[in-house]
Amino acid sequence: MSPLVVAVVGPTATGKSDLALELALALGGDVVNADALQLYRGMDVGTAKLTPDERRGVPHHVLDVLDPRDEASVADYQSLARSAVSACHDAGRRAVAVGGSGLYVRALLDHMDFPGTDPQVRARLEERVEAEGSRALHDELAASDPAAAAAIGPRNARRIVRALEVIELTGRRYSASLPQHVYEVPAVQLGLDCDRAVLDERIERRVDTMLARGLVAEVEGLLRHGLGRTAARAVGYAETAAQLRGELTPDEAREAIAAGTRRLARKQMGWFGRDPRVHWLDARDPDLVARALGLVAAADAGRLGLATDDPTPRRTLGS
């Protein structure tokens, strides 16, 4: 029987990569990336990707597998990530998945269908987004699939288009194809939570660190070769590109990156906070690694139920 996958999840800037690395070292495991942007080669500084030296000899899988001009596919990610997990298990090593991209984590761990696509239907819907705005199409989605509309923000044009495309092609609600909270790949999920004020401070420091490490030069180099839509819209990259075009000053770009990262953290917390299987830990706990290992041991022994069964409720982001 394969060991449980250990998944470290939660909002950005809480220290997920560091915790996953410590767990991999302690458990004799490999790290499997579940961050959509860390799939891209050359997008290192702006994604806070651990450098090879920082990985301390721990193998990392599903990193740097896409060109920045490519569009990420959740279906392709699922295949790559599950193959990496199987390879870890075949080698007798624990798989430690880590990332803040909720849909990718769910694609790795849960049953998830991937309805087909139609380029013509998608192109027509994308033209409507340009002409009518994403909110208009979100209203249309809300009328046909309220559950999907509730899960997709009115500014997320890409996911709105995909939802309407699936509805048109299948005649079924898009929400029917979304994953349920049932593992297809058995796992224990550890979430990192953090007080909102503290997390905002961490985000400010992270942005300053990225700028000091050469974010502007990284984006400048990427732009010379071209960026696909996903990469070009990523937090940190979109704002820096605007700065390089002269649309924002360096100070304005920095503040826009910090603000975008704060919004991303809230969104991530909302996504993972709805999953009753996530066991939450305080990112500032000095005994964080020991507590995480304790939860893994309890899960391995079959003594860990749903997180909603825990006698002490978790603190939510911002409380």
Q: Is 10 annotated as a binding residue?
A: yes
Kindly write down the DSSP assignment for every residue of 93-156, as one continuous string: -EEEEE-S-HHHHHHHHB--------HHHHHHHHHHHHHH-HHHHHHHHHHH-HHHHHHS-TT-
Q: Is 144 annotated as a binding residue?
A: no
| Residue whose tokens read 């996903």 | 230
Q: Is 246 annotated as a binding residue?
A: no
Q: Is 261 annotated as a binding residue?
A: no
Q: Is 267 annotated as a binding residue?
A: no
Instruction: Name which of 184, 160, 199, 154 is nearest 10 in CA terms.
Output: 199
- What's CA 275's distance to the chain center, in Å? 14
Q: Contact at 8 Å (CB) between 222 and 43?
A: yes
Q: Is 79 annotated as a binding residue?
A: no
From residue 106, alpha-carbon distances to 22, 182, 217, 286 in Å are 23, 10, 34, 29
Q: Is 12 annotated as a binding residue?
A: yes
Instruction: Name which of 193, 167, 163 is nearest 8 in CA terms.
Output: 193
Q: Is 16 annotated as a binding residue?
A: yes
Annotated binding site: 10-17
Give binding residues for substrate as ranges: 12-17
Q: Which residues are annotated as a binding site for ATP?
A: 10-17
